[in-house]
Chains A and B, each alone.
Chain A
Amino acid sequence: MTVLKTSIGRRSFLKTTALAGGGFMLSFSWLAGCKPTPETLELPKEWFELNGYLKIGENGLVTIMSPNPEIGQNVKTSMPMLVAEELDVDWKNVIVEQAPLNTTVFTRQLAGGSQSISQGWKSLRMAGATARKMLREAAAKTWQVPVDEITTEASMLYHKASGKSASYGEMASAAAGIEVPREVELKNNSDFKIIGTSRNNVDGKKIVTGQPLFGLDYRKEGMLIAMIAHPPAFGMRLKSVDDSQARNMPGIKDVFTIKTYPEDYAQQWCDVDSFPELVVVVGNTTWQVMNARKALKLEWEQFQDHEISSSTFWGTTVKIKVPRGLENSTQHTRVMTEFSSKVAKVVRKDGNPEAVFKKAAKVIERTYSAPFLAHNTMEPMNFFADVTDGKAELVGPIQTPEFMEKSVAARLGLPLEKIDIQMTRQGGGFGRRLYGHFLVEAAVISQKVKAPVKLIYTREDDMSFGVYRPAYFAKYRAALDADNNLVAFHVNAGGIPEGPLFANRFPAGAVDHYLAEEWSVPSNISVGAFRAPRSNFIAGAEQSFLDEVAEAAGKDPIQFRLDLLDRALKNPVGENNDYEAKRYAGVLELVRSKANWGEEMPNVYRGVSAYFCHDSYVAHVIDLVMENGKPRVEKVHCAVDCGIVVNPVAATNLVEGGSVDGIGHAMYSGLTFTNGTPDQNNFHQYRLIRHREAPRSIDVHFVKSDVDPTGLGEPPFPPVIGALANALYKATGKRHYQQPLLGVGITLG
């Protein structure tokens, strides 16, 4: 049993409601999810707030606030499950509400790094446990018995000796008067009743019936629609605007330019500055604004080399060089090829790799590359803002509300208390909505037109605005001795404008002579975190390379990896290896047995891969079949170690989705540039994986674990790319080194 000091104030919830403000809450009621599902439940007459995370109605209904942004990773269901578990409530009686940004009650209201569950694991359970303890104390006081004798089960309080019992609803009012306990005990894992059981998406019914949930669906009385025009190319800025035609078109209220950030503003890591000045069209309806925007006559010019200073996620300050010029993909490839054959910055070195490579029996060298990627969340960027009377109401999809509150406050010149940020359900995140320039833009526009405004990006605006996954390059070398042992390993990796290297990950620690080097090339194309940053490329490259090394060594690819992991476990090289070899081997062993690895099947071609990121371990085996001369993914076998699995149905869905997403991006997606302009700006040019190309089936297996939960949104994405490449080699006899594979004429299905 874990005993924790509580850090939850009683009044915190009241503060939340006060902040949200009466009128606002009303106009917002469709988002708050006040109607209980299942609909058979009646709303209570009165709510009793026990802490910022939950309130209990006199009829036993419980509202649990879900603190973090929901981007499809299921936190709106799985985080409240943690509260419900320790509260010992019947899940049937739970209503979930999306919490607004409230830094006094909640910590880390962020969707990023696959850490919502792991970071909320203690605090959310503590919120439930605190309330449960208050209910027990209230019952003890009412019944005049010792609190230790009060037990709970499924929303009921019991005193066995006297035979007394009461529901949570009946005791809620008394519990609200109990002092917040100083310490609470958390359940033992073996006592979990909700954690580890499958609970369907709390928004499921609303999603399948098309009820308003997303940022784009939000509306408020008197709301106007806004769109922006940004430079057509990276490296350009606004020169002149002729809006004479546009501003006279039907429904148009105003046309003007905005600067997203103030002149002397020190950027945060989540601010985006590639297009500092934008042209804005505001009008009554989306269609009117779209048409007027087309009628703008805009001139652009190139900007000069400059430097911006920005704070990092960790609070340090960095200077970023932004070079002038209109960049091209052909030039990018040339520069990356050049850099990868030069000596770069040594990030890690073990032993004497140069000497060992010289006397190796066999040296294998391969180079891998991947293009820029656009996130392409299905719901394009958008935000609602109403900035009037010295306060700002902001509603929409954002992964970093806490950070963006600071950016928008600085821009509007308002104190943080005057900024309200409400999060809608988000039509995908994948890292794109960490960068909330659109929230600031919406606020600036609303302030200027003095009206509520919804800013909408079209797909083209979204895909050409930047914040891409960088373009990557990695060169690998491996040295085998005469007995086919891997004796030296060298990785030289880089990218535009940043590299993908994780120098201390496998196979570091498993090879005596190891060298990891890194380089980067400055660019004016803006980039950002994309589902499993850096891992999303380097895993596929490394795992394809290891497959070739295993083949050259004449070893089974799984056994080859397991032997290396065994070495890393028993006699690791160096001290900074940031993976657990045992758990790594665990997923490989699990997938080996579940996939019946080694069994030959007619027309089935298999590839394997395993990777560690976001504190979790994932291994894939892909079964390809050839149909009409084309490869098709028949099955994906996947083994995952993410510690305790909170909500198996959703976790499985996420692993399936991550696997499809990884296959899709490796196969089809990529963004290229001509004179600074993206060559692709919508789905007719930028391909995402479609139904027919998806695997026929995906089997997901979780390692049974008692370890506290680790990441899950990102880890299934990176390794699947290696498994795909390795299976394709088996099926076609050819290895491929450049993503997307579509570029070399391969398609699935």
Chain B
Amino acid sequence: MATFNLTVNGKKQEVDVDPATPVLWVLRDHLDLVGTKFGCGIAQCGACTIHLDGTATRSCMLPVSSVGDQEITTIEGLSEKGDHPVQKAWLEHDVPQCGYCQAGQIMSAAALLKENPNPTDEQIETAMNGNICRCGTYVRIKAAVKTASKNINA
């Protein structure tokens, strides 16, 4: 066990855990932030995507000891009122079916648009390829990313 001082969604958090604990389980079990999902545990599905200093990162294989002072943002902290352009576009397009993958999808999309506010279809496909949606909402995801991009640039 060791103590780690994390910044999660702008808030300082202290946790006392095994240094190898993946950030996913620190968030879910210790900080009660369950918006970040468990899908595969091996960085293959994207359900656990968070932002680490703004970059989309799989939290299921990220040991808490490797975070250091990098800032963690989860879906709960993406916006204060749930009105991030990506979240709004997701609602407008009524993207979710079961909804389980969508936090990860949204985090990947938000990171993409931050880096590249005007992605081409090709760039969207590449950025979103690591996020599996078993319900098959990919067509809507792409449309929502484009709407969000339009609104960000408006």
Category for how many chain A residues contact B? 35 or more
Q: Which of A255-313 contact B (CB under 8 A)?
A: 285-288, 291
A684 cross-chain contacts in B, Cβ below 8 A: 42, 44
Interface residues as binary, A681-717 with B (CB distance below 8 Å gives 1, 0 otherwise): 0111000111110111110000000000000000000
The stretch of A19-27, A230-238, A659-667, A735-743 in contact with B is A659-667
Q: Are the C-beta atoms of B82 and A694 separated by less than 8 Å? A: no
B32 cross-chain contacts in A, Cβ below 8 A: 219
Q: Are the C-beta atoms of A649 and B1 separated by less than 8 Å? A: no
Give the distance to chain A from B11, nearest Cβ to Cβ, in Å: 15
Is residue B139 contacting chain A, with contact meaning CB distance below 8 A?
yes
- Complex CA gap A661/B138 in Å reads 10
B132 cross-chain contacts in A, Cβ below 8 A: 378, 683, 688, 690
Is residue B29 contacting chain A, with contact meaning CB distance below 8 A?
yes
Q: Are the C-beta atoms of B134 and A653 separated by less than 8 Å? A: no
> How many inter-chain residue pairs (CB < 8 Å) link A and B?
192
Is residue A71 contacting chain B, with contact meaning CB distance below 8 A?
yes
Is residue A210 contacting chain B, with contact meaning CB distance below 8 A?
yes
B47 cross-chain contacts in A, Cβ below 8 A: 378
- Complex CA gap A690/B130 in Å reads 7
Q: Which of A447-488 contact B (CB under 8 A)?
A: 456, 458-459
B94 cross-chain contacts in A, Cβ below 8 A: 198, 200-201, 204, 649-650, 653
Is residue A379 contacting chain B, with contact meaning CB distance below 8 A?
yes
Measured CB to CB, the nearest residue on chain A to B33 is: A210
Q: Are the C-beta atoms of A660 and B139 separated by less than 8 Å? A: yes
B42 cross-chain contacts in A, Cβ below 8 A: 459, 682-684
A660 cross-chain contacts in B, Cβ below 8 A: 136-139
Q: Which of B82, B106, B136 counts the most A-chain CB atoms under 10 A from its CB?
A: B136
- Complex CA gap A564/B75 in Å reads 53
- Complex CA gap A581/B148 in Å reads 44
Q: Are the C-beta atoms of A378 and B90 separated by less than 8 Å? A: no
Is residue A209 contacting chain B, with contact meaning CB distance below 8 A?
yes
The stretch of A96-104, A152-160, A184-192, A423-431 in contact with B is A423-431
Q: Are the C-beta atoms of A691 and B129 separated by less than 8 Å? A: yes
Give the distance to chain A from B117, nearest Cβ to Cβ, in Å: 19
Q: Are the C-beta atoms of A72 and B34 separated by less than 8 Å? A: no
Is residue A214 contacting chain B, with contact meaning CB distance below 8 A?
yes
B140 cross-chain contacts in A, Cβ below 8 A: 653, 656
Q: Are the C-beta atoms of A683 and B40 separated by less than 8 Å? A: yes
A36 cross-chain contacts in B, Cβ below 8 A: none
B41 cross-chain contacts in A, Cβ below 8 A: 458-459, 682
Q: Are the C-beta atoms of B139 and A695 separated by less than 8 Å? A: yes
Q: Are the C-beta atoms of A286 and B99 separated by less than 8 Å? A: no
Is residue A377 contacting chain B, with contact meaning CB distance below 8 A?
yes
Using known A-B contacts A200-B94, A210-B103, A216-B37, determine if residue A205 contacts B138 with beta carbons closer than 8 Å: no
Give the distance to chain A from B133, nearest Cβ to Cβ, in Å: 7
B124 cross-chain contacts in A, Cβ below 8 A: 691
Category for how many chain B residues contact A? 35 or more
Measured CB to CB, the nearest residue on chain A to B101 is: A378
Measured CB to CB, the nearest residue on chain A to B107 is: A210
Give the distance to chain B from A494, nearest Cβ to Cβ, in Å: 28
- Complex CA gap A287/B142 in Å reads 34
Interface residues as binary, A201-214 with B (CB distance below 8 Å gives 1, 0 otherwise): 10111011111111
A219 cross-chain contacts in B, Cβ below 8 A: 32, 34
Is residue B18 contacting chain A, with contact meaning CB distance below 8 A?
yes
Q: Which of B34, B36, B47 counts the most A-chain CB atoms under 10 A from its CB?
A: B34
Using known A-B contacts A378-B47, A427-B98, A427-B100, determine if residue A208 contacts B106 with beta carbons closer than 8 Å: yes
B128 cross-chain contacts in A, Cβ below 8 A: 691
Q: Which of B35-53 contact A (CB under 8 A)?
A: 35-42, 44-45, 47
- Complex CA gap A380/B60 in Å reads 14
Q: Which of A688, A689, A691 counts the most B-chain CB atoms under 10 A from its CB?
A: A691
B90 cross-chain contacts in A, Cβ below 8 A: 204, 208
Is residue B21 contacting chain A, with contact meaning CB distance below 8 A?
yes
Is residue B91 contacting chain A, with contact meaning CB distance below 8 A?
yes
Is residue A116 contacting chain B, with contact meaning CB distance below 8 A?
no
Q: Which of B96, B98, B101, B130 counts the most A-chain CB atoms under 10 A from its CB?
A: B98
B22 cross-chain contacts in A, Cβ below 8 A: 287
Interface residues as binary, B141-153 with A (CB distance below 8 Å gives 1, 0 otherwise): 1100000000000
B134 cross-chain contacts in A, Cβ below 8 A: 376-378, 428, 430, 661, 688
Give the distance to chain B from A511, nearest Cβ to Cβ, in Å: 34
Is residue A371 contacting chain B, with contact meaning CB distance below 8 A?
no
Give the distance to chain A from B103, nearest Cβ to Cβ, in Å: 5
Residue in B1, B35, B78, B135 whose beta carbon sits within 8 Å of that of A428 in the complex: B135
- Complex CA gap A200/B88 in Å reads 13
A204 cross-chain contacts in B, Cβ below 8 A: 90-91, 94, 96
Give the distance to chain B from A653, nearest Cβ to Cβ, in Å: 6
Q: Are the C-beta atoms of A661 and B100 separated by less than 8 Å? A: no
Q: Are the C-beta atoms of A286 and B101 separated by less than 8 Å? A: no
- Complex CA gap A232/B76 in Å reads 38
Q: Are the C-beta atoms of B137 and A657 separated by less than 8 Å? A: yes
A73 cross-chain contacts in B, Cβ below 8 A: 97
- Complex CA gap A458/B131 in Å reads 18
Is residue A654 contacting chain B, with contact meaning CB distance below 8 A?
yes
Give the distance to chain B from A242, nearest Cβ to Cβ, in Å: 23
Q: Are the C-beta atoms of A691 and B125 separated by less than 8 Å? A: yes
Q: Which of B91-134 contact A (CB under 8 A)?
A: 91, 94-103, 106, 121, 124-126, 128-134
- Complex CA gap A688/B34 in Å reads 24
Residue in B28, B30, B103, B139 whose beta carbon sits within 8 Å of that of A698 in the complex: B139
What are 27 of the A-B contact pairs (CB < 8 Å)? Answer: A71-B98, A72-B96, A72-B135, A201-B96, A208-B91, A208-B103, A209-B76, A216-B37, A250-B18, A287-B17, A287-B20, A287-B22, A378-B101, A378-B132, A378-B134, A379-B100, A427-B37, A427-B99, A428-B98, A456-B38, A458-B41, A656-B140, A682-B41, A683-B42, A691-B128, A695-B139, A696-B121
| Closest 10 pairs (CB-CB, A-B) | A210-B35, A72-B98, A427-B100, A660-B136, A210-B75, A694-B138, A657-B136, A207-B99, A683-B44, A72-B97
Given contacts A378-B98, A459-B41, 11 further A-B contacts (CB under 8 A): A72-B96, A208-B102, A209-B76, A209-B78, A210-B75, A216-B34, A287-B22, A653-B140, A682-B42, A683-B40, A691-B125
